[in-house]
């Protein structure tokens, strides 16, 4: 496939992913509202918010890093999406995954968060700083079970390449890593709860504590860009988990179904649990999820 | 040629004539006295020159009778050195004592002369009874000199000394008499022959009497109590005189007597008593609170060491010249220290805070003398100890080596503890000082200068012109303290640049381990000296010592011999110690740094000794070691380098040393010095790694230990860095952690692992140097290192902010900057090796690094600006320039990691064969596990960034900039609003979560080690009751004990 064509497909992919992310967050809000006995916003509320923020007449900023923060956030989300093959074997949907392997993806996940943290911190709002402190703390904690799971998968697939890991799962549902490496899957899906920051791990945005957390000071087009970045970031993560554990996908419909299921897992948990304190959240990830991850790695080492 | 007889006769005659001459006036006495001693110096010097030139040993037959009938004296090289030393010390001591009324009146002068006579007689005589006579002369001279006009403590000390001296004399006399009875001769050589021809029955007990007598004369353990009291009570100038004359003479007497002990059961007793004295006296010294007492213990210990070596000299395992070097070193250094103690006048160790603050020359003298005392290069003691150890290693005495090194480490503890106090509080002390006379100072200056004759051996060991030139310029700068600090920095910059220029293309190549480290060193030195143009020098001698440091590192890298390597290593250690100690609060951390570095040095030395014992001389020859020798050498070397790298378990010295050392030095300490253990691991230890690893076969691979030590270091230090409240401490922990990754990479022992480690060596130099320099600029402007007193400085110091931003991105390993390639390589290498748990563990700890990276940039530059910092300026331009010199290579590496990786690949290919890392196309790096393309990432990020920026600039309204206090408050506006910078205890919840592993077990362990050894030392001090009767009792108990052991065998 020629490069301009690939570029065009990627742009389309990005836009679709953003829309999908906004839509899915709308669905979740609706679901949560129904669980709590409310009517809830319409499922397209995300699009309304985005449009409204873009046409606001005033905007304020706190300095260069603040100005760049949404760009970091969005670039981090879009970049992550572009590094992950959505459908392996379909060049239009493999994005730019030739750029690097799973290690690159894992590190690129932090790009947006850290960049945004810098900008949010420049705002000088203490709630932003507190939110960042919590967010980074939790991020390192769930990284341990996730890293263990990734190492287990990569070692058994013999590669860090996402495409290779997907290819190693072909041949039926029971070849999925979800079933061949159940312990790794447990570790990673528990880590996923932390990544998505729904309850009980919603300590970063923590309503009633530090109203919005890091984005407190962001407004208008800054906030809109940030929202878009978050949407695509969430989608990218779901696609990654699909590739790692659910055997990837062969067509877009499969992508939609699988990613929705993955996302629903965190909603399911989030609807039931109240919020942890920060240290409780950290201890949680360093507890059973880590044990599961270590066991997964040991199993792989024994099976060699 | 002047007859050597005159060396005794002239002072003897003068001693008798002095009371007469004194009638002409005090000046006449002094002139005659000094002239006599000068005559001795000239004659002895002349003889030494001739003997060294190959002249025959002089034998003097008194009364014309040949031995064994007449008494004969001998003057060989050894005797000539000792006689010269005695005269020199006496001469300088006479100058020093000239102002002390009691010592410089005619009686004092006569006694000084008599002491010289006694000492020279002892040195030269070959007759046993004559020896006894001279021993008595020296003994009486000593009491007299010590007791004269002293206060109570001096009198008491002299009395006790006399009591034990009498007991010693009795034993010696008994021994001599019985020996005469047994052999019918008094001539030493004759007697030795007769004794060894037929070990006459009963000679054992007689020799024992003589031995105990000599132990008492030599003041060895357990009979060293009175001597130590003497140091405490007597005038230090007098003690210096004694060290140069009587002490050496008695030692040489005993050395001559060892001929009698050959083949007897007491040889082992001599070694054991000697070594016991060395270790125990050093141990007891660490708890001393008085300077002179401490020096007394030290003298006892040194004498113990010398005595310990004597049997090995007899057996030919150690050369006599080796012992000679140690004697000369001890005499010069100890005399200088005693004079310094006299000049300073403070008896209490704690009273030395900031001593010689305004007398830099004397401080240099003190430092040089201490370095020489503890046996650091380039001073003679180092070469002596080295050759002694080599002799022991070749003779197969690993346990003696171990004990000797332990004792030497104790020596480090108290000598550097002393220097710690001297460096402490230099800034505070500026009282009016007593004016000094040149006569007082002459000895210190002269003797410290003499110590530098060891440099000649340094030249032989190194053979690196560049290194010697750098060190020489350094010495000049130390002495030329009038030159302003920034100009000195310029000189250093030029000198290092010139070196780099000279070595460019020949040795500065990245595809060779030495070349790589050399490049790191010279580049790092240039960057910090450039930064030095913008910051005041922490101390006047700072840049001179810095250049010595650079020179020693260059030598260490370029040398081919084990000796040259270790000499460079030790000079590196002490010069960096001096630099660490040169900041306001640096003395305490520097002390800890030195003790741990000393320990590391001794571990390395132990490893080298195993190699030398196996007949290896050069670094290249290390590869010939095999089997258990290879494994033990490797383990010792690896352990030593790990301690020096502050690996987990031995890390407690590092944070304070990094944090408290001068802001100008920390970048070098972190970026360059911490890489030298890596050089050691990669060049020295790795040469024997293969046989060491294969020795245990499949049973156990020792690299696992190294790998987990590296991994634990990386994790533990990273975690601790997160909780620091001080910018430099945070970076300090971070530095140690990063070195942990490098150790881990080397431990993989695969081409990819080494590539990862070496890539990180370069990258860490770049980003950590950058961060430390940027933080140095901030500290310089803000005047604090505490995060809580900074904030919002991005608006005042934008260039520094950009430096820190680039630095932390490279550190964190977030794409697209150079750090990611390093992480990627390491993980791929670990996966290849099959160390899966370590891979995940390292991923975890490298994510924790994000926490402190953010902490660093947030607390300093982001958040709200403090009111007091509204007018803070950007850091000085040289500092900014130096930072951007580091930014450029980071950016280059980010775009093209291959420019570094390709040479590194060639480097590791020499050792391991080619690695699995390959370049596909031009930019994609492929290993057996994964791939990545640095340029593609960079382009992706830039395109996205620019596109989104354009979007943000065009979409929506034009954003208005608002002030830092113009923020949304949730209902409450706390006054005053500046207090809102959230910087204190930033990761408190994280700390709570990790509480179980943060109990500080390692610090507690080392504290226990210190407490226990101090408690032992404390308990041991009670052994010396200060009661003369107890001391005598000890003498008899020693006889019984030795007799029991010796006769039972």
Q: With 80 as the cut, is the pLDDT of residue B667 above it?
A: yes
pLDDT (0 to 100) of residue B957 = 78
Are A60 and B948 within 8 A, CB to CB? no
pLDDT at residue B458, as a whole number: 86
> Mean pLDDT, to the nearest integer, of B737-765?
93
Interface of A with B in 228-267 (CB under 8 A): none
For the stretch A123-137, pLDDT in tens is 888 888 889 999 999
- pLDDT of B811: 94
pLDDT digits (tens, 9 = 90+) for B234-256: 888 888 999 999 999 999 999 99
Q: What is the ipTM of this complex?
A: 0.95
CA distances from B684 to B515, B622, B744, B925 (A): 15, 8, 17, 30
| Token pair for B656 | 């304070």
Q: Which of B836, B813, B815 is nearest to B760 (CA)?
A: B813
Which pLDDT score is estimated for B978? 63
- Residues of B with Cβ-Cβ distance to A300 under 8 angstroms: 836
Is A107 in contact with B813 (Cβ distance < 8 A)?
Answer: yes
pLDDT, one tens digit per residue, over B548-579 is: 999 999 999 989 899 999 999 999 999 999 99
| Best residue in A124, A228, A300 for a mutation probing chain B (most B CBs within 10 Å) | A124
Q: What is the mean pLDDT of residues A98-116?
A: 89
> Is residue B432 scored above 60 in pLDDT?
no
Task: Please judge whether B929 and A160 are an interchain contact, meaning their C-beta atoms are less than 8 angstroms apart.
Answer: yes
> Is 70 exceeded by the pLDDT of residue B216?
yes
pLDDT band at B150 (very low <50, low <70, confident <90, very high): low
- What average pLDDT does the structure give for chain B? 88
Residue B184 above 70 pLDDT? yes
**H-only helix segments in B61-127:** 77-97, 101-104, 106-124
Q: Quick one: pLDDT at residue B304?
A: 95
Question: At residue B225, does pLDDT exceed 70?
Answer: yes
**B1-36 tens-digit pLDDT:** 688 888 999 999 999 999 898 888 888 888 999 999
What backbone torsions phi and psi does residue A123 show, to the nearest 5 degrees?
-60, -20
Query: B101 pLDDT exceeds 70?
Result: no
Determine contact, residues A275/A197, Cβ cutoff 8 Å.
no
CB pair distance less than 8 Å for B990 and A70: no
What pLDDT shows up at residue B972? 64
| pLDDT at position A275 over 70 | yes
Contact B704, B837 (CB under 8 A): no
SS (H, E, C) B1025-1040: CCCHHHHHHHHHHHHH
pLDDT at B79: 93
Could you tell me if A286 lies within 8 Å of chain B, comparing CB atoms?
yes
Contact (CB<8Å) A107/B987: no
Which one of A122, A282, A293 has the shortest CB-CB distance to B990? Answer: A282
A158 touches chain B (CB under 8 A): yes
Decide if pLDDT at B465 tops 60.
Answer: yes
Residue B1018 vs residue B725, higher pLDDT: B725
pLDDT tens-place string over residues A69-78: 999 999 999 9
Mean pLDDT of A18-22: 94
Question: What confidence category does residue A194 fall into, taking pLDDT thresholds of 50, 70 and 90?
Answer: very high
Task: Supply the pLDDT for residue B1049.
Answer: 64
Percent of chain B having pLDDT more than 70? 96
pLDDT at A4 over 90: no
Q: What pLDDT score does B971 carry?
A: 59
Task: Label residue B744 by pLDDT band (50, 70, 90).
Answer: very high
**Per-residue model confidence (pLDDT) at position B963:** 78
Task: Write the burial class of residue B105 (CB in 10 Å: 0-12 exposed, 13-18 middle, 19+ buried).
Answer: middle
Q: Say what the pLDDT of residue B140 is.
A: 86
B466 closest CA partner among B491, B519, B503, B508:
B503
Residue A228 has a pLDDT of 92
Token pair recorded at residue B107? 């009686």
> Which residues of chain A are within 8 Å of residue B794 when distances are taken between CB atoms?
63-65, 122
Predicted confidence band of residue A28 (pLDDT cuts 50, 70, 90):
confident
Q: What is the pLDDT of residues B988-1018, one digit of tens each?
A: 989 999 988 888 888 888 899 999 988 888 8
A100 and B864 within 8 Å at the Cβ level: the answer is no
When pLDDT is averaged across residues A19-27 and rounded to a whole number, the result is: 92
Average pLDDT of A21-39?
Answer: 90
**Nearest in space to B218 (alpha carbons), one of B146, B270, B155, B158:** B270
Mean pLDDT of A39-52: 92
Rounded to the nearest angstrom, the minimum Cα separation between A86 and chain B is 18
- Give the three-class secondary structure for A60: strand
Contact at CB, A140 and B851, closer than 8 angstroms: yes
Angle between helices B877-895 and B898-912 (to 10 degrees): 70
| A225-253 residue pLDDT tens | 999 999 999 999 999 999 999 988 888 89
Distances (CA, A) of B969 to A117, A217, B48, B337, B491: 19, 10, 87, 66, 55
Chain A residues with CB-CB distance to B987 below 8 A: 133, 136-137
Question: In whole angstroms, what separates CA B188 from the centre of its chain?
Answer: 41
Per-residue exposure over A11-30, b if at least 16 CB sit within 10 Å of its own CB, e if not: eebbeebbbbbbbbbbbbbb
The pLDDT value given to residue A185: 96
B426 pLDDT tier (thresholds 50, 70, 90): low
Is a pLDDT exceeding 70 seen at residue A189?
Answer: yes
- DSSP class of residue B348 equals B
From B661, B499, B714, B623, select the one nearest B911 (Cα to Cα). B623
Does A216 reach chain B within 8 Å, measured CB to CB?
Answer: yes
Cβ count near B1 (within 10 Å): 9
Residue B433's pLDDT is 63
pLDDT at B974: 64
- Closest partner residue to B989 (CB to CB) among A103, A279, A293 is A279
- Across chain B, how many H-helices and E-strands are there? 43, 6
- pLDDT beyond 80 at A148: yes
* Backbone phi, psi, residue B187, to 5°: -75, 130
Instruction: Say if residue B197 is exposed, middle or buried (CB neighbours under 10 Å; 0-12, 13-18, 19+).
Output: exposed
The answer for residues whose C-beta is within 8 angstroms of residue B696's C-beta and 6 or more apart is B631, B702
pLDDT for res B586: 86
Confidence of residue B867 (pLDDT cuts 50, 70, 90): confident
- pLDDT band of B351, cuts 50, 70, 90: confident
């Amino acid at each position: 496939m020629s490069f301009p064509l690939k570029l065009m497909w990627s742009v389309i992919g990005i836009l679709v992913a953003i829309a999908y992310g906004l839509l899915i967050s709308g669905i979740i809000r609706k679901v949560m509202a129904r669980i709590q006995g409310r009517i809830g916003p319409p499922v397209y509320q995300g699009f309304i918010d985005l449009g409204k923020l873009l046409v606001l007449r005033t905007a304020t900023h706190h300095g260069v890093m603040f100005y760049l923060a949404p760009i970091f956030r969005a670039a981090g989300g879009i970049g992550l999406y572009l590094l992950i093959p959505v459908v392996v074997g379909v060049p239009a949907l493999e994005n730019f995954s030739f750029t690097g392997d799973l290690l690159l993806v894992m590190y690129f996940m932090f790009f947006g968060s850290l960049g945004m943290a810098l900008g949010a911190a420049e705002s000088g709002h203490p709630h932003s700083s507190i939110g960042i402190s919590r967010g980074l703390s939790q991020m390192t904690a769930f990284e341990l079970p996730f890293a263990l799971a990734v190492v287990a998968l990569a070692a058994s697939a013999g590669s860090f390449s996402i495409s290779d890991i997907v290819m190693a799962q072909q041949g039926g549902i029971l070849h999925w890593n979800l079933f061949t490496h159940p312990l790794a899957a447990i570790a990673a899906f528990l880590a996923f709860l932390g990544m998505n920051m729904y309850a009980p791990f919603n300590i970063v945005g923590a309503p009633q504590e530090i109203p919005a957390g890091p984005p407190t000071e962001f407004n208008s087009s800054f906030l809109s860009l940030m929202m878009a970045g978050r949407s695509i970031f969430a989608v990218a993560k779901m696609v990654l988990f699909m590739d790692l554990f659910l055997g990837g996908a062969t067509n877009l419909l499969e992508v939609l179904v699988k990613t929705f299921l993955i996302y629903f897992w965190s909603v399911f948990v989030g609807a039931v649990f109240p919020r942890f304190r920060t240290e409780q959240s950290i201890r949680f990830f360093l507890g059973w999820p880590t044990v599961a991850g270590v066991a997964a790695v040991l199993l792989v080492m024994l099976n060699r | 040629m002047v007859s050597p007889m005159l060396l005794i006769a002239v002072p003897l005659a003068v001693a008798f004539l002095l009371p007469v001459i004194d009638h002409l006036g005090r000046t006449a006495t002094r002139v005659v006295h000094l002239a006599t001693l000068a005559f001795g110096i000239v004659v002895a010097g002349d003889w030494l020159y001739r003997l060294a030139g190959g002249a025959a040993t002089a034998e003097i037959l008194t009364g014309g009778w040949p031995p064994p009938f007449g008494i004969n004296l001998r003057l060989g090289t050894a005797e000539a050195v000792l006689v010269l030393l005695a005269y020199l010390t006496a001469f300088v001591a006479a100058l020093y004592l000239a102002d002390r009324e009691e010592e410089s009146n005619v009686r004092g002068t006569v006694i000084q002369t008599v002491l010289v006579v006694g000492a020279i007689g002892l040195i030269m005589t070959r007759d046993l009874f004559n020896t006894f006579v001279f021993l008595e002369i020296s003994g009486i001279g000593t009491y007299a000199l010590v007791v004269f006009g002293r206060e109570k403590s001096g009198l008491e000390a002299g009395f006790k000394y006399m009591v034990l001296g009498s007991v010693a004399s009795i034993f010696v006399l008994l021994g001599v008499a019985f020996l005469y009875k047994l052999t019918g001769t008094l001539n030493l050589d004759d007697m030795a022959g007769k004794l060894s021809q037929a070990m006459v029955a009963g000679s054992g007990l007689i020799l024992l009497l003589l031995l105990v007598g000599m132990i008492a004369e030599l003041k060895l353990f357990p009979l060293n109590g009175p001597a130590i009291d003497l140091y405490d009570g007597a005038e230090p100038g007098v003690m210096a005189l004694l060290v140069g004359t009587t002490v050496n003479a008695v030692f040489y007497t005993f050395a001559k007597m060892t001929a009698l002990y050959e083949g007897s059961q007491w040889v082992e007793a001599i070694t054991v008593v000697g070594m016991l004295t060395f270790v125990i006296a050093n141990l007891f010294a660490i708890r001393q609170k008085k300077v002179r007492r401490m020096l007394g213990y030290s003298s006892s210990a040194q004498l113990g060491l010398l005595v310990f070596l004597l049997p090995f000299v007899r057996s030919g395992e150690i050369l006599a010249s080796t012992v000679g070097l140690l004697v000369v070193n001890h005499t010069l250094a100890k005399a200088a220290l005693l004079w310094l103690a006299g000049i300073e006048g403070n008896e209490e160790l704690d009273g030395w805070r900031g001593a010689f603050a305004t007398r830099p020359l004397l401080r240099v003298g003190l430092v040089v003398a201490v370095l020489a005392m503890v046996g650091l290069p380039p001073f003679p003691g180092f070469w002596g100890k080295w050759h002694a150890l080599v002799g022991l290693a070749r003779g197969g005495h690993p346990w003696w080596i171990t004990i000797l090194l332990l004792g030497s480490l104790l020596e480090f503890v108290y000598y550097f503890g002393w220097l710690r106090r001297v460096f402490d509080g230099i800034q505070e002390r500026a009282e009016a000082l007593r004016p000094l006379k040149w006569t007082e100072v002459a000895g210190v200056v002269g003797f410290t200068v003499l110590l530098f004759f060891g440099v000649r051996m340094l030249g032989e060991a190194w053979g690196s012109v560049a290194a010697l030139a750098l060190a020489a310029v350094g010495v000049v700068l130390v002495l030329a303290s009038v030159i302003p600090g920034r100009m000195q920095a310029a000189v250093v910059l030029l000198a290092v640049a010139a070196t780099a220029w000279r070595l460019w293309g020949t040795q500065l190549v990245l595809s060779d381990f030495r070349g790589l480290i050399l490049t790191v060193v010279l580049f790092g030195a240039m960057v910090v000296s450039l930064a030095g143009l913008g910051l005041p020098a922490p101390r006047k001698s700072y840049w001179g010592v810095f250049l010595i440091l650079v020179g020693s590192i260059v030598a260490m890298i370029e040398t081919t011999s084990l000796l040259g390597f270790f000499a460079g290593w030790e000079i590196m250690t002490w010069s960096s110690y001096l630099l660490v100690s040169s900041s306001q609060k640096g003395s305490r951390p520097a002390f800890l740094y030195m003790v741990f570095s000393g320990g590391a040095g001794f571990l390395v030395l132990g490893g080298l000794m195993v190699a030398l014992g196996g007949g290896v001389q050069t670094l290249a020859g290390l590869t010939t070691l095999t089997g258990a020798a290879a494994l033990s050498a490797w383990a010792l070397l690896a352990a030593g380098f790990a301690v020096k790298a502050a690996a987990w378990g031995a890390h407690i010295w590092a944070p304070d040393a990094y944090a408290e050392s001068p802001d100008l030095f920390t970048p070098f300490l972190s970026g360059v010095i911490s890489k030298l253990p890596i050089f050691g691991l990669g060049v020295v230890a790795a040469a024997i790694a293969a046989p060491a690893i294969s020795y245990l076969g499949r049973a156990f691979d020792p690299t696992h230990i190294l790998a987990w030590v590296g991994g634990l270091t990386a994790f533990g230090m990273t975690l601790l860095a997160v909780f620091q409240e001080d910018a430099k401490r945070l970076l300090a922990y971070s530095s140690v952690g990063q070195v942990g990754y490098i150790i881990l990479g080397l431990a993989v022992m695969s081409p990819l692992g080494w590539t990862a480690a070496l890539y990180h060596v370069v990258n860490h130099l770049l980003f950590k140097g950058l961060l430390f320099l940027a933080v140095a600029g901030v500290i310089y402007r803000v005047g604090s290192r505490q995060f809580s007193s900074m904030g919002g400085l991005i608006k005042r110091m934008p260039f520094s902010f950009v430096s820190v931003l680039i630095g932390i991105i490279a550190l964190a390993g977030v794409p697209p900057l150079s750090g990611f390639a390093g992480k990627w390589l390491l993980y791929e290498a670990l996966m290849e090796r099959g160390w899966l748990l370590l891979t995940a563990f390292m991923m975890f700890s490298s994510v924790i690094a994000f926490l402190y990276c953010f902490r660093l940039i947030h607390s300093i530059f982001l958040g709200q600006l403090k009111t007091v910092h509204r007018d803070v300026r950007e850091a000085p331009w040289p500092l900014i320039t130096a930072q951007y010199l580091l930014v450029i290579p980071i950016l280059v590496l980010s775009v093209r990691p291959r420019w570094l990786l390709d040479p590194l690949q060639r480097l590791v290919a020499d050792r391991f064969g080619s690695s699995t890392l390959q370049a596909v196309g031009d930019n994609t790096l492929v290993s057996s596990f994964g791939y990545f393309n640095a340029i593609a990432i960079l382009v992706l990020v830039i395109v996205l960034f620019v596109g989104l920026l354009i979007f943000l600039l065009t979409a929506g309204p034009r954003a208005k900039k608002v002030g830092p206090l113009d923020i949304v408050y949730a209902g409450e506006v706390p006054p005053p609003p500046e207090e809102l910078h959230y910087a204190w205890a930033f990761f408190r919840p994280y700390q709570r979560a990790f509480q179980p592993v943060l109990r500080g077990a390692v610090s507690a362990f080392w504290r226990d080690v210190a407490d226990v050894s101090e408690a032992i030392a404390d308990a041991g001090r009670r052994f010396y009751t200060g009661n003369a009767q107890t001391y005598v009792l000890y003498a008899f108990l020693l006889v019984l004990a030795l007799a029991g052991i010796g006769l039972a065998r």
